[in-house]
Amino acid sequence: MDYLQGLNPSQRAAVEQIQGPVMIVAGAGSGKTRVITYRVAHLVKKGVDPFNILVLTFTNKAAKEMRERITKVVGPEAKNIWMGTFHSVFAKILRVEAEKIGYPRNFTIYDTDDSKSLLRAILKEMQLDDKLYNANFVYNRISSAKNNLISVAEYVQNEQIQAEDFSTGRGKLGEIYKIYTQRCFKAGAMDFDDLLFKTNVLLKDHPDVLYKYQNKFKYLMVDEYQDTNFSQYLIVKKLAAINENICVVGDDAQSIYAFRGANIQNILNFEKDYPDLKVFKLEQNYRSTQNIVNVANSIIANNKNQLKKTVYSENETGDKIKVTRAFSDNEEGKNVAEAILQERSLKGLNHQDFAILYRTNAQSRAMEEALRKLNIPYKIYGGLSFYQRKEIKDLIAYFRVTFNPNDEEALKRVINYPRRGIGDTTVERIIVAADANDLTFWEVICNAGKYIDSRSANQVGNFATLIQSFKVMTKTHSAYDAALHIAQHSGLLKDLYDDKSVEGLSRYENIQELLNGIKEFSEREDIEQKGLDVFMQDVALLTNDDNDKNPDADTVSLMTIHSSKGLEFPQVFIVGLEENLFPSQMSLSSRTDLEEERRLFYVAITRAEKKLHISYATSRYRWGTLTSCEPSRFIDEIDARYLELEYKEPQKPAGNPFFDNERSSWSASRSTDTFSKPKVGSIPKTTSILPKAHVPTPGFAPSDTSNLQVGMEVEHERFGFGKVISLEGSKPDIKATIFFKEIGQKQLLLKFAKLRIVT
């Protein structure tokens, strides 16, 4: 029983309760994995046959780690425990029982790519518009139906579902679902969702099979129960119905996968299914400092729909949580990169001790660029570098072709994307013609009628005209206007917009973020050359050598918060804490969605061990328009006692007329380091929200600044109101030094500054 000695009282009580229904509510960093593994080991030590134990997890990694730990306690017998992911365990059962539902035992399992490939073939055969019936969208629709145990028959007979499909112009979805199901069955194949869907069918239609496995699995344990969907819930409930020796482990405060079908009600209502339930709460956090735990508690306390618990830490008190305000997302990235440099220098940390977490993939752009500029190595965790994402490379390929039509690789990438009737056969003919006539790929395209059949030549000629029109556009318009025009008229933007899947939305947001970056570039006042070709040069330098050649290298981790679940880092930066970004705009229509966003923030906070940094920007570009941003409501929900502001008042320049004649805009209660008299509870609005981004005067229009003089008051669209301190240089390159009320001193080149003279 030595393995029990290292457990705290709550952990030990949960491990030793092996009979009857049990729910273990495990707070972040509370030793959940240890409790699960020791509980299974304890069952074996108490004489339970390992063959009668079923342990279900959500990842193979978790199952492997648990089995290794159990083996150390009970020895080789651990191999006999049924342990694995939901899909792997029930695939194993289906291999034995598949013939009862008409499938061969050696049925094929289609992965996501297989399923989408089959759907694309079906859509093509049905001659459906691939914009309206996008394969990704259709796949997600069918997947959602299966996870909610909606069969083909139920789908086509459900009036609400049919009404929804017809209202979006997709009335054929039910027919596609039917054909897809028939084709899978005919091929002796199940897709990933079928492994759960068909298990439910098997247990419902064959009571003898259900009874067999109810008696086999006398003890069930389910990890991360808050992430189960309806299909998983029903399987577990059926299997546990006779013995009721079921133990679920999870944390409702970390339920963040509703978009995948996870239903938080499964854990919140678990007691309704088992009135004799025994609940154990693991509330001691071993991971984080007291301040980080207190911040997490003050956030999650705002959720009404939750299982109450009080997580605490006996670790060191730790640093207060830093809240940093930046003017823009680029400045936010710069602040984060500089903070990492400083923390490494002061504390001797490695790059791998830092993680940057964000709500959406698109936010990685500003972080990546800032890290690169300071030569800080990083790795995108669970995803690609911003500039390596397919949709970004697709649009950049259009830019490349626009400036260099002889770029054959870029031409091949975009000539038929989005689809314009130029297939692989036509592309091969272009290549052959170019080689045979000693021409470039582009020269053949421009003279398509001479080298390929007339039917294909028309489409190829239209493509050449399109690229030539883009080239003309870049000569007369700004980098942003040209880029937006190319994104729209190439059809790329519409193609991404029409994909309503979660992945499609993310890709669309990434294109928006690239265009935002180009907009910022085109409005920079420290450079004269602002064409799209100059931006492309910068991008080429950023994307060079972007491959991860050494996965074990010492790098800063960048990832979405969803990807960070289950991980931990000594120092964590949570960026983009702004309304409509985090919480996301789509979450603000219902309490259910907003509470999931708050749980997501809770997960982000609890990834930090020693130090937590939070930041937000007061302005971001959205589709080329500089938009004022409000700090996230989540910042106001944090108890002020645990926060430290990182925004410092600007120093008074010698003889500055602005400071001589105007009062500082910051209230005395805003200290340069911490709140002067913090109150328990939410931060008061007058002290919690730092100076906001400037909102331009209605009808803002730049003035003629040829006669600008020292002492004049001016307004800048981004920097706000200020006074001219000095002027230097000669026309047309006069530089003005201006002290802005909100951000301090700036030097601007007048011909690019776009100032409005106030007085």
Residue 26 in marked binding region: yes
Q: Was 27 annotated as part of a binding site?
A: yes
The tokens describing 233, both together, are 């819930």
641 is catalytic: no
Catalytic-role residue among 12, 16, 33, 568: 33
In the structure encoding, which two tokens stand for residue 419, read together? 């689809």
- Is residue 32 marked as binding? yes
Location of structure tokens 């207190």: 294
Check: CB of residue 569 under 8 Å from CB of residue 366.
no
- Annotation says 607 is catalytic: yes
Q: How far apart are CA 269 and CA 209, in angstroms?
A: 27
Task: Return the H-helix or E-strand segment holding 522.
Answer: helix 502-522
| CB 66, CB 53: distance < 8 Å | no
Q: Report the sign of the C-alpha dihedral through residues 388, 394, 396, 400, in that order.
A: positive
Catalytic residue among 223, 331, 499, 597: 223
Q: Which helix (H) or strand (E) holds 514?
A: helix 502-522
Task: Identify the active-site residue in 32, 39, 507, 610.
Answer: 32
The active-site residue out of 281, 429, 607, 670 is 607
Amino acid at 517: G
Q: Is 33 annotated as a binding residue?
A: yes
Asked whether residue 29 is marked as a ligand-binding residue, the answer is yes
- Euclidean distance between CA atoms 14 and 31, whole angstroms: 12
Interatomic CA distance for residues 704 and 226, integer angstroms: 62
Residue 30 annotated in ligand binding: yes
- Reported as type and span, the H/E element at residue 72 is helix 60-74
Q: What are phi and psi of 148, to 5 degrees?
A: -100, 15
Q: Nearest 5 degrees, angle CA 611-CA 615-CA 618? A: 170
Joined together, the tokens standing for residue 118 give 């089959």
The yes-or-no answer on residue 488 being catalytic is no
The shares of helix, strand and coil residues in the chain, as percent rounded to the nearest 5, are: 50, 15, 35
- Ligand-binding annotation for 31, yes or no, is yes
Farthest-apart Cα atoms in the chain, separation: 93
Based on the residue annotation, tell me whether 204 is a catalytic residue of this protein. Answer: no
Give the type of residue at 621.
Y
- Active site (annotated) includes residue 223: yes
33 is an active site residue: yes
Alpha-carbon span 392 to 513, nearest angstrom: 10
- In the set 254, 324, 402, 555, the catalytic residue is 254
Contacts of 542 (CB under 8 A, 6+ apart): 368, 369, 372, 387
Catalytic residue, candidates 224, 251, 513, 639: 224
- What tokens appear for 653 in the block? 């320049």
Handedness of CA 75, 77, 79, 85 (dihedral sign): negative
> Which amino acids are annotated catalytic?
32-33, 223-224, 254, 607
Binding region for ATP: 26-33
User: Which residues define the annotated binding site?
Assistant: 26-33
